[in-house]
Amino acid sequence: MATDLATPPVKAVKATGHRPGRARALWRYRWLYLMIIPGLAYFLIFKYVPMRGLQIAFQDFVPFLGYNGSQWVGFKHFEDLFTGPDFGRLMYNTLFLALLNIVFVFPAPIIVALMLNELRINVLKRSVQSLIYIPHFLSWTIVASLTYILFSVDYGVLAGWIHEILGGQKIDYVAQPEWFRPIIILQTLWKTTGWTTIIYLAALAGVNHEQYEAARMDGAGRWRQLWHVTLPAIRPTIVVMAILMSGNLLDMSFEQIWLMTNNLNRGTADVFDTFTYYVGINQGAYSYATAVGLFKGVAGVLLIFGSNWLAKRLGQRGLF
Amino acid sequence: MSASRSRLLAGALTLTTALLASACSGTGGGEASQADGNTITFMTKLFGTAPSPQGELHQAIEKFLGKKISVTWVPNAEYQEKTNVTLASGNIPDVMVVDPKSPAFGKAAEAGAFWDLTEKIKQYPNLVGDPKVLLNSSVNGKVYGPYRIRPLLRSAVMIRKDWLKKVGLEAPKTTDDLYEVAKAFTEKDPDGDGKKDTYGLILPKWPGTSFAASSPFNTMDVWFGAPNNWGERDGKLVPEFDTPEFFEANRFMKKMIDEGLVNPDWNTLDTAKWMDPFVQDKGGIIIDVDVRTTQLLDLLKEQDPQTYGDKVLTVGNLARPDGKKFSFPGSGYLDILAVSKQRVRTEAQLDELLKTLDKLAGKEGQILLANGIEGRNFKVENNEAVLINQDDPKVKQLQDDVDKAFIQLGTQASTGATGIAYLRVPPEEPYRKDLAERKERVAEDLKTAVFDPSLPVVSPTVVAKGATLNPIVTDARIKYLAGQITEEQLKAEIKRWYDSGGTQIAQEINDLVSKLGQ
Amino acid sequence: MSVNQYRSPGSRVFDAVNIAVLTGLGLITLVPLLYVLAGSFASESEISSRTFFLWPEKFVTSTYEYIFATDVFIRALLTTVVVTLVGTVVQLALTLTMAYPLAKRYLPGRALMLNLVIFTVVFSGGIIPTYLVVRDLGMLNSYWALILPLAINPFYLIIVKSFFQELPEALEEAARIDGCTEMGVFFKIVLPLSKPIIATFSLFYAVGIWNDYMSPLLYIDDSSKWTLQVLVRQLTGADAQNALSALETVFFPTQGLKFAVVVIATLPILLFYPFLQKHFVKGVLIGSVKE
């Protein structure tokens, strides 16, 4: 790739070595460093300073008393989390949904972007592009009420049709645990796919026309063009998205799940994010919630660095 | 990575740490601004758009109190979040509307964020209100502020009056009657469309995870003689679900559900859509708070302004099959006005503030908060408030400021409970009739009200393990009603609740209640 | 677009299926919005009595009359537009200027800084600690509190960075030889080549600010400074735990009103996209560049 060829400056730094080299590198790249400063300051002030709040995972934090006034309790909250009666179930439910997200939610925008890319009718292409990101603007509350309109056992429009076609016993899709995950995944697909598609469309906008010409000269059909030109062009974006997603794999949309939880499906529905919310409401336990956050963060770091390593092993560029 | 580069990184890291350290100097608390005698700061809930400080009502209240007020209006849906942040901010207002039983408040109060007013409040008659309700709003007997009044009893049954006539039945008095009505509503085609497409009772999804949820399920438990959350059996307090009457009530509900007399989506129906089947001619009975009648009338009136008055019949609590009646009351309050120690620092400042609050809690103050400005947006007739000038946009604004905002600061008069303010009488006949009947009904039902003795106390174990413990029995009960588990399995789940910490909770509740010396 | 002259039968079948599927996708995203739109013009009893409809039997404008009866909504709308515009520019500028140096593999210290950024994807201090920082910076009740605490989304930063990495280095090299500083290269070469990502992330940041209700709620006590989403949230937020909470007030947001505020809060930002769409045309990025 172009970037890899054009990196003489690195060699210069290495050659001159030690102290003078560092100063010279600073001087040589002063513009670049200057450009980085505002962003870096942002991260330090708004991301790293608040991270001192993570210490409350080891305290019994009372907001009024602050960091200094709250009592230290060591790893108590982590013990509660890992040995609590709910941990196994929460872990299982969270991982299950995470897996479904990887299999269904992650590829969806790529597929839609590719399909849009193949669409020849410009008017339709533009209209569909402007429509599919609408759901991003509708809150989970509205998504949930639409879900009931479609699937309620009493008045669900879609459930009614399915029942008419298939007959038999009416199925209560929104109440039964076995339908919980499919419904959550459907909701997520509907709400997020169009939005994420935009990123891939931007990547696709960068594909060189001449490459298609060349492929066609070689007699490549549409499938081969897709495979040999389009996909490689957006592969770096796919890899970046995959690695980033892995870092937040254990994060579920709390509001979405909370709205679809009921007494019958709670065993299937509860994930770390919803349980933490119940703990917050019922027990006012900030420290516990922070401990859960830390645990998820550590898992996220492992996943993100692991997948970055894997991407590099597979010959991709990775994040860093 | 070469040696020089890693040293450069190390340098950058040091810089980062230094920056972090310098940016980390101040923690928590911060310097709080002190109360000045002339301005009182409040934080309370908001249901519409926020009133302007230049608004008519705001000005009128300031004039009445002889002090400036500054209110932080917080949308109701996000109140909890904002409360947490405010408690941490070091900027707690003088007076904060809070749920005294929320763990977040409990911990802050224990840490000394709020004044303990148990003794002091007695000097201010307007703030004390009803001593029993005041005790209910306390934390294990400690009073942190005047409570915001709510009706002590508001459970009722709303029935489609026209359907009742159609199937030829009387208004139900017992649970057996209720069953008969529900059965007739389901089977006798009360909407007259020739199809069997109706059901009797409309039940919504269980709200939240706690067992005591003021849901129709809880109401029916009490009708059958089960305790209201906690109750005395053989000299000891036991939970609602550990009594034979609870199982009796559940068998009754399960029978109705099994026979299809209840809406099929009863375990997922959103409470916001509770009234829809009633209005859609699909279901005919709702067990909920009595002000629901007003909402139903509103909807039915929009549908048909001629007949809506003949479509809703509201009756009180029902007796159980043997004729004994037990009614389901509430706690009589919602939230308290807690006084911050952060801004109100000295006893003298506290006395000054309480004096002002006492003035606001008097009749004139409560009328301002709950009715508005006499002669401007309402007039008094027969000791009742009649709205006037509502076409004037400025008056409409004033009315909005009352209904959606300032009424949330009311203590002895508030939403649903007029207290010492004027009762607002709606102009239309069906509403007037409902209000008049409500008064009698509530007075009658209060005679048989089963109060929850555990209201004033907070069990430490619930605070420590609530998220795990609360759903156990709640979920099991719904699963039992849905036919997913048997009565034996439900009993096993109750035992699991006891074993996981319930025994301790029962012990604490008993100890704490007996300490109150009741 | 004359991408392909020869069309095999398989290709035609694919086109037909593709058109059908994408049209379907367009519809299932459009229909709910139409329902919300129809609901905002329907009477309350119609919403209660019909499960689903796209055309109200009787047109009612009372919800909109209610919303626009006072200047509260209009003021909030204006505030939101201004904050969104300013915020998008600030956030985009910070993101682009930071992403560019990070795209340079030869820059000493880059790995550390990238790690610092990636770390924040998975760890965050939480609401209260961030609030304390905003308070200590004196930004409470200031519109900057709606912009700066969320100024750089690490996710977006990394994606922009990898876009920059894909730019042909040869062009930048040429500019450098012509005497451009890195800053010059960035403004004269890199930015013009990056229109699609600038379009994309201005949309992402704009929508992020537009949809944010938590920041104004936490940082802005002065209700006259509230943005649109606070009002929307207030009227449409998930009802609290308690069955009785809906009846806590004389005022009860009706379904129609909920729909109407969603319409008002969604339409302006939806109109944003078509303006950006022209930048998503093929060939803008590399097609114009000869390697």
Cβ of residue B279 closer than 8 Å to a chain C Cβ: yes
Confidence of residue C6 (pLDDT cuts 50, 70, 90): low
- Residues C154 and C275 grouped into a single domain: yes
Does the structure show a pLDDT above 70 at C220?
Answer: yes
Which structural domain, as residue segments, surrounds residue C125? Answer: 70-280
pLDDT in tens, B496-516: 999 999 999 999 999 999 998
Does the structure show a pLDDT above 80 at A294?
Answer: yes
Closest CA to B71 of B90, B88, B54: B54
**Chain C neighbours among A 116-155 (CB < 8 Å)?**
116, 118-122, 124, 126-142, 144, 146, 149, 155
DSSP 8-class letter at B33: P
Name the 3-class secondary structure at B177: helix
Confidence of residue A280 (pLDDT cuts 50, 70, 90): confident
- What is the rounded distance in angstroms from the CA atom of residue B451 to the CA atom of residue B419? 20
* Closest by Cβ to A264, choosing from B470, B478, B500: B478
Region B433-449 average pLDDT: 93
The answer as to whether C26 is a domain residue is yes
- The Cα of A267 is separated from the nearest Cα of chain B by a number of Å equal to 9
- Residues C34 and C164 grouped into a single domain: no
Q: A touches which chains (3+ CB pairs under 8 A)?
A: B, C
Kindly report the CATH class assigned to A85-140+169-313.
mainly alpha
List all residues 6 or more positions away from A166 whose beta carbon is below 8 Å from its beta carbon.
Answer: none
- Residues C182 and C255 grouped into a single domain: yes
**Chain C neighbours among B 113-172 (CB < 8 Å)?**
none
* Closest by Cβ to C183, choosing from A31, A115, A134: A31
Confidence of residue C285 (pLDDT cuts 50, 70, 90): very low
The answer as to whether C56 is a domain residue is yes
Cβ of residue B24 closer than 8 Å to a chain A Cβ: yes
Three-state secondary structure readout of B104-173: HHHHHHHCCCECCCCCHHHHCHHHHCCHHHHHHCCECCECCCCEEECCCCCEEEEEEHHHHHHHCCCCCC
Query: What's the confidence (pLDDT) of residue C5?
Result: 53
Query: What's the confidence (pLDDT) of residue B417?
Result: 74
- What is the rounded distance in angstroms from the CA atom of residue C114 to the CA atom of residue C110? 6
Region C64-89 average pLDDT: 89
- Residues C203 and C108 grouped into a single domain: yes
Region A136-162 average pLDDT: 88
Does the structure show a pLDDT above 90 at B478?
Answer: yes
| CATH code for position C74 | 1.10.3720.10
Does the structure show a pLDDT above 50 at A268?
Answer: yes
Highest mean pLDDT: which range of A95-109, B25-39, B269-283, C69-83: A95-109
Q: Do the Cβ atoms of C237 and A141 come within 8 Å?
A: yes
- Residues C48 and C170 grouped into a single domain: no
Q: Do the Cβ atoms of A263 and B479 come within 8 Å?
A: yes
- What is the rounded distance in angstroms from the CA atom of residue B165 to the CA atom of residue B146? 46
Region B149-153 average pLDDT: 91
- What is the rounded distance in angstroms from the CA atom of residue B397 to the CA atom of residue A122? 50
- The Cα of A127 is separated from the nearest Cα of chain C by a number of Å equal to 8
Region B303-310 average pLDDT: 90
Could you tell me which residues are beta bridge partners of residue B378? B374, B387
Contacts of A32 in chain C (CB under 8 A): 100-101, 104, 107, 182
Residues A90 and A174 sit within 8 Å (Cβ to Cβ): no
Query: What's the confidence (pLDDT) of residue B369?
Result: 95
- Residues C170 and C28 grouped into a single domain: no
* Average pLDDT over chain B, rounded to an integer: 89
* Closest by Cβ to C247, choosing from B72, B77, B292: B292
- Residues C140 and C257 grouped into a single domain: yes
- Residues C30 and C87 grouped into a single domain: no
- The Cα of C114 is separated from the nearest Cα of chain B by a number of Å equal to 12
Residue A204 exposed, middle or buried by CB count within 10 Å (0-12, 13-18, 19+): buried
Phi and psi dihedrals of A138, rounded to 5? -90, 130
Q: Do the Cβ atoms of C109 and B1 come within 8 Å?
A: no
- What is the rounded distance in angstroms from the CA atom of residue C164 to the CA atom of residue A300? 25
Residues B473 and B211 sit within 8 Å (Cβ to Cβ): yes
Residue B367 exposed, middle or buried by CB count within 10 Å (0-12, 13-18, 19+): buried
**Most C CBs within 10 Å: which of A137, A197, A254, A256, as the mutation test of the C interface?**
A137
Query: What's the confidence (pLDDT) of residue B460?
Result: 93
* Closest by Cβ to C123, choosing from A137, A208, A297: A297
pLDDT in tens, B52-65: 899 999 999 999 99
Contacts of B72 in chain C (CB under 8 A): 221
Lowest-pLDDT choice from B116-130, B286-300, B467-481, C6-20: C6-20
Residue pairs between chains A and C whose CB atoms are closer than 8 Å: 295
pLDDT in tens, A6-40: 344 444 444 444 455 778 888 888 888 999 999 99
Q: What tokens were used for B18?
A: 């230094």
Region B68-72 average pLDDT: 94
Residue of higher predicted confidence among C274 and B413? B413
DSSP 8-class letter at B408: G
- The Cα of B67 is separated from the nearest Cα of chain A by a number of Å equal to 28
- What is the rounded distance in angstroms from the CA atom of residue B106 to the CA atom of residue B113? 10
Contacts of B12 in chain C (CB under 8 A): 109, 112-113
Query: What's the confidence (pLDDT) of residue A119?
Result: 87
Does the structure show a pLDDT above 80 at B392?
Answer: yes
Residues C4 and A222 sit within 8 Å (Cβ to Cβ): yes
Query: What's the confidence (pLDDT) of residue B34?
Result: 60
* Closest by Cβ to B73, choosing from C116, C223, C238: C223
Lowest-pLDDT choice from A222-226, B115-119, B170-174, B226-230: A222-226
Lowest-pLDDT choice from B67-81, B330-344, C273-287: C273-287
Closest CA to A287 of A128, A79, A115: A79
Q: What tokens were used for C134?
A: 């905003």
Query: What's the confidence (pLDDT) of residue C237?
Result: 55
Cβ of residue B215 closer than 8 Å to a chain C Cβ: yes
Contacts of A152 in chain B (CB under 8 A): 265, 268-269
Residues B340 and B114 sit within 8 Å (Cβ to Cβ): yes
**Most B CBs within 10 Å: which of C50, C116, C119, C247, as the mutation test of the B interface?**
C247
* Closest by Cβ to B467, choosing from A65, A263, A283: A283
- Residues C56 and C81 grouped into a single domain: no
Residues C140 and C221 sit within 8 Å (Cβ to Cβ): yes
Region A144-166 average pLDDT: 88
Could you tell me which residues are beta bridge partners of residue B202? B286
Contacts of A286 in chain B (CB under 8 A): 84
**Most B CBs within 10 Å: which of A44, A145, A154, as the mutation test of the B interface?**
A154
- Residues C203 and C124 grouped into a single domain: yes
Lowest-pLDDT choice from B23-27, B179-183, B256-260: B23-27
Q: Do the Cβ atoms of C126 and A132 come within 8 Å?
A: no
Task: Give the max Cα distance, chain A.
Answer: 82
Q: What tokens were used for B263?
A: 């809406």
Region A102-116 average pLDDT: 95
pLDDT in tens, C171-194: 788 888 888 888 888 888 888 888
* Closest by Cβ to C248, choosing from B303, B393, B415: B415
Would you list the domain boundaries of chain A?
1-35, 85-140+169-313
Closest CA to B401 of B369, B378, B363, B376: B369
Closest CA to C164 of A223, B232, A203: A203
Instruction: Tell me how crowded residue B234 is: count the other CB atoms within 10 A of its CB.
Output: 5
Query: What's the confidence (pLDDT) of residue B14?
Result: 42
Residue A105 CA neighbour count, 13 Å, CB half: 26
- Residues C157 and C246 grouped into a single domain: yes
Could you tell me which residues are beta bridge partners of residue A59? A72
- Residues C93 and C180 grouped into a single domain: yes
Query: What's the confidence (pLDDT) of residue C252?
Result: 55
Query: What's the confidence (pLDDT) of residue B393?
Result: 83
Query: What's the confidence (pLDDT) of residue A229?
Result: 87
Q: Do the Cβ atoms of A142 and C183 come within 8 Å?
A: no
The answer as to whether C23 is a domain residue is yes
Q: Do the Cβ atoms of C245 and B397 come within 8 Å?
A: no
Q: B touches which chains (3+ CB pairs under 8 A)?
A: A, C
Nearest CA in chain C to B291: C247
Domains of chain B (ranges plus CATH)? 39-151+332-422 (3.40.190.10), 155-328+449-515 (3.40.190.10)
pLDDT in tens, C129-176: 999 999 999 999 999 999 999 999 999 999 899 888 888 888 788 888
The answer as to whether C141 is a domain residue is yes
* Average pLDDT over chain A, rounded to an integer: 86
Closest CA to A118 of C283, C61, C16: C16
Residue of higher predicted confidence among B368 and B14? B368
**Chain B neighbours among C 131-170 (CB < 8 Å)?**
131-132, 135-136
Q: Do the Cβ atoms of B28 and C238 come within 8 Å?
A: no
